[in-house]
Structures are given as C-alpha cells and as structure tokens.
Structure 1
Amino acid sequence: MDPHLLRTFLAVADTGSFSAAAQRLQYTQSAVSQHIATLEADLGTPLFTRRPVTPTPAGERLRRHAALILVRLEAARADVTRALAPPGRLVLGLTPLAWAAPVAAALATIRAESALLRTHLKVAARDRIVDAVATGEYDLGLVDGFAAPSDPLRLPDGGPRAIGVAESPAVLAVPAGHPLRGRKRVDLTDLTDAYWIDAPEVAPFARLPVDGLRAGLRYDGGDTAVLAGLVAAGHGLAVLPAPLVAAHDGLTGVPLARLVHRVELLSLRDEEGPAARLRELLSAAT
C-alpha cells in the first residue's frame, strides 16, 4: 500500500470529510477521492460510507494499522538519517515545565565528556514530543504532567518507553494576597467555582484530575514566566510545580492534596552515543 494513500485515508477518517481532508493535505477534493478509490480497489472493499463519511468495518481495521505503518516508515527514515549525521549530536525535545535539576546535571556531565557535542533543545507540546521520539525525529524527550504520587503519566499506548526522572510537589499558584494563601492544603474538587488560567502548552487545564473547573483566561504561549506573571496579576489560578512558584516573588504556592508534578524521559530501545549516555545518567538519578 502506498504511504501517500494511507495518509489521505487517515486524513479522511480523522476529519470525517473529503473536502476537509483535502484542505488539511493541500490537495484537490478530486485527488482525495481518487486516492481513496485507488486504495479501495487495491483492498477490494469499501473503506468509507459516503453520507455521512465514516469508516466501514474494513476501514476501522485499516485505521488501526495505518497510523502504525506511517510511524514505522518515519522511524526508518529518521534512523537512516541518524546514521549519516555527524557524531556527537543530541536532539532533545522537552515540554516547558520538564526542565529539572537532574536533567541539567546530566547534560552538564555529557557535555564535559564530549567537548564537541552539539545539543539541540526543542520546546514543544507533549503530544508532539511523543510522536517525534516515536519516529526518531528527536533522540529523546522529556515530558511533564500532574499525577497522583508515584503514578506514571498517562501517555499513549505503544509509544516510546518512559521512565520517571524527577518528581516535586504540585501546588496551587495564587497571587501573594489571595485569600487561599494561608491554607495548609487545598483539594482541587473544592475549587470548581474559581477562575483558572488554561495554558495548554505549559500546564494543560484538561489534564488536571478533576472535572468541573472553568477557565477565565486562555494562554496559548509556552513561556512559564508569562504564565506565572498572569497568575501573580490575578488573572486566574494555575497548578504548577512548587519550585517554579517559589522562584517567583509575586506568587504563593498552596499545597495540593494527592497531586505531584512528574517529569518522564521518553526513549526508544536503540539509542546510541550521547542519547544513550543521557538516558543512562537520568535512569541512575531516579
């Protein structure tokens, strides 16, 4: 099966529309229809019903395989590219809140061991990093999130392996004069009437383990200093790692019940060179 046809198939399945898939892929709608017809002829079965556009049972089966096939093709391409790349290169993807002391110490160690090491740090959203590590675009990834103590982050099944590398208390970040600042501990379930800041690129609102919270402001950037400044100015509350809140003069951190901030390292099973050394150092630090 042609990978281009599989990409078109997934675009139609994801959008539920031939025209929307054409816009996503920057094809004409007739080209999308031709791709699907060619794929259906190759497999000898319809893959979509047309009104509405939904996958048939055969289409659902193909959908489960297609994404994995394309990921493996990208991984093969990236692996060949890595083999041709100059030695001493490390591409590390990280979410804005994933930078932690063990990470800084491990990078300092491998840079001291290899004076010619070229390190590229790429800040991105968590889902983007998971995909980039799975395909080999990034050598390693560092992602963060909030979870119950000692629980792993909820990451996609079948993706890169993950190991915990840092854990710190999660706190409710409030302005210095906020009425909650003197509390010894709060529970998120008691804060459904509060105004929150939704910051999908830094501290995703939707991933907090409680329903019913409402956002008063949305911040689409990835700068942690901006998010901290918004909280300090009274625009809403946020859940943040305790060390970040302690470092900001305008914020107070109120301890949260049954919640920690966790950083995990994402990797494949065949790293070499600096990536393997960084994984080794971070694994030993946990």
Structure 2
Amino acid sequence: MKAQPDLKLLSTFMAVVSCGSMAEAAAALGYVPSAVSQHIAVLERDMGIELLVRRPGSRLILTAAGRSLAQATETLFEATARFQDAANGISNCEIAELRVGAYPSAMSHLFPGILSALKPRGRGARIRLIIVETQEGLPRVKSGGLDLLIAYRYLPEDPPTTSGEWTITSLGHEPLVLVTGPRPGRRPLELAECLEMEWTSGHAHSPDRRLLHRWAGELGISPDVTLETEDLHSMLAMIRAGLAVGLIPATLISGENDRPGVERVVLPPEVAPLHREVLAVSRPGIRPPIINELVTLLVEALKSVQS
C-alpha cells in the first residue's frame, strides 16, 4: 500500500460513495464512467483491498474496508478544509494569538481601556500581554518572541532607531510632568523653589536621567538627584510622601483630580514642556489588522492624556 493514497482518487471514491454508482459519480465529476472505474481500480490496487462490491443492475455496496476508508477520507477532507481556511486566514493576516510587550505604566494605564474597547468587537486573535521594558523587548521583537512592542524613547538618539530590523510607528508624545507631594491649602511650588529639594529619577545613565540632565543644563540648574529608581511607581510613592520632586509621565497622574496625591510644579513660561515619545515596534512586513487596530487605539489613548 502507498504511504498516502492519491487525493484525486479519494475524491472520486467519495463521489461514488455519495452517488451510489459509477455513472452518477462520473456525471457529477464531469468524467466519463470509464475514468471513474479506473480511479477506483487504481485506488483498490494501491490500498491492496477491495473497497466496492460491484453487482450488475444494482447499486454499489461498500465493503467493510470501503466503509472505513470513507469515514477516514471524510475526516481527512474536513481537516484539509479547516487547514485551507486557516491558511487563507494567515495569508489575509488573520492570526490566532498576538504577543504584545509593553512597559509597566503602559500596561497598567493604557491597556485596560484599550482591551475593554476591543473585547466587544469579538476579534478572533487572542492577545497575550507581557510586561517588558524597551531595551529588553527590542531583541524579542527581532527574534520573533514578540509580535508588537510598545516602547518609549526619551531622547531622539535613544533606541529604537530606524533600521531594517523592525518597523517603528510613533504613537504620540506623552507629557512628563514635574511634580511634588501634596501641599493642602498652599500654593503650588515654582521651579526655583524646588532646586533646594531632593529629586528622584532613574540611575545615572538611564534615559529619563539623561533627559533630566539635558533639560536642567539648558535651564542652567543642577537638580540634586538622591533617590534613584527605575520603577516609576516607587518614584511616585516617594514624591507623594513629600520626599522628593521628579518628572513623572502624565499617564501615571492623569487621574489625580479624583485621587489627590501630587501637585504640579509651576514652570516659567519660557520653559519648554518635556515629553517622551511612545512607539509601536514590530518586525518589517505586512502587519496583521489587529496590530493596526491596537496602534490606532493607543494613539487615541495618548491624545486623551495630552489633552
């Protein structure tokens, strides 16, 4: 027996099973009856067993082997159809699962609303979310471990930069807000009053720390960073406790009117506002529609933060 019967022969066999005669199967397939008879004969020879009992003047009868083959062929054809549907979906950029990496504050402050907006639409793709910082996520995009990375860039020269390794889409600019702890009943602090305070920021060579130093250098000031952490939530906790002043992404304090905890420092009118750029990073090529939809929703979410 051949390792795998010819699919064309199996298709003819199933037509005979469905129609009950060689002649009707030939008419249904557009063959001459002798071609159908030859297909069945070749299939039986390949299988090494009789599949049909041929009795002149009566309908064909399936042998036990024929019945088993008909059931197996039906299963095979159903699986083939499902495979074809899946292959067509893949070629049309439909996917079963999308692996999305994002930095912690995006995960906690942007994605809940976005996923809530996506859920009622009944999209087929399952979205698997992974918390990962930009520097750790970029190699995973390149290797295929992530399909999409939501990243940030504090300075234009910071990665990710344009290359053939990925596609970069700018989602917008997230404001960075200089804040202090709450001062109930007192006016907000001005920048000059914060220079004698302790500041919190990232470690010496982290992107936010380098942005702070560049900004301070342009203003001719020297903030005293004594509380170093890469965790923005820890940074915010220090500020809320009145221990420091620092630059915080606006998404983390966008709801502060409902839950007071920090106050914005009043900057001189000539001081340009700071921001970090939020990016969507994916591999080069055609992106599945669900990625484009996520990108659109993230752009809208960032616009609401800026407004």
State the TM-score, normalizing by the size of structure 2.
Answer: 0.49
- Rounded to whole Å, the distance in 1 between the matches of 2:126 and 2:283 is 20
Runs of 4+ in 1 over 6 A off after TM superposition: 283-286
Q: Which amino acid aligns with 1:235?
A: L
Cα deviation 1:96-134 (Å, max 9, x = unaligned): 233597755554444333355422222222211222222
Residue in structure 2 matched with residue 217 of structure 1 by the alignment: 227
Residue in structure 1 matched with residue 290 of structure 2 by the alignment: 274
Quick check: 1:177 aligned with 2:183?
Answer: yes
- Rounded to whole Å, the distance in 1 between the matches of 2:202 and 2:121 is 37
Deviation of the 1:174 alpha carbon: 0.5
Q: Percent identity?
A: 18
- Rounded to whole Å, the distance in 1 between the matches of 2:236 and 2:299 is 30
- Rounded to whole Å, the distance in 2 between the matches of 1:263 and 1:101 is 13
What does 1:66-145 correspond to in 2, within 5 Å? 87-99=95-107, 106-114=114-122, 116-145=124-153
**Which of the pair is proportionally richer in strand?**
1
Q: Which amino acid aligns with 1:236?
A: A
Residue in structure 2 matched with residue 264 of structure 1 by the alignment: 279
What does 1:161-240 correspond to in 2, within 5 Å? 161-177=167-183, 181-183=188-190, 186=191, 194-199=197-202, 204-208=208-212, 209-210=214-215, 212-220=222-230, 222=231, 224-240=232-248
Deviation of the 1:216 alpha carbon: 1.1
Deviation of the 1:250 alpha carbon: 1.9
Quick check: 1:252 aligned with 2:263?
Answer: yes
Name stretches of at least 5 consecutive residues in structure 1 with no aligned partner.
1-82
Bigger-Rg structure (1/2): 2
Contact 1:173-1:231 within 8 A present in 2 as well = yes
- Partner-residue secondary structure (3-state), 2:129: strand
Deviation of the 1:239 alpha carbon: 0.5
Cα deviation 1:109-160 (Å, max 9, x = unaligned): 443333554222222222112222222211111123446xxxx673243253
- Rounded to whole Å, the distance in 1 between the matches of 2:202 and 2:182 is 20
- Rounded to whole Å, the distance in 2 between the matches of 1:142 and 1:252 is 28
- Rounded to whole Å, the distance in 1 between the matches of 2:118 and 2:234 is 31
Name stretches of at least 5 consecutive residues in structure 2 with no aligned partner.
1-89
Residues 206 and 276 from structure 1, CA distance in 2 versus in 1: closer, same or farther, beyond 3 angstroms?
same
- Rounded to whole Å, the distance in 2 between the matches of 1:203 and 1:174 is 21
RMSD: 3.8
Contact 1:102-1:165 within 8 A present in 2 as well = no
- Partner-residue secondary structure (3-state), 1:128: helix
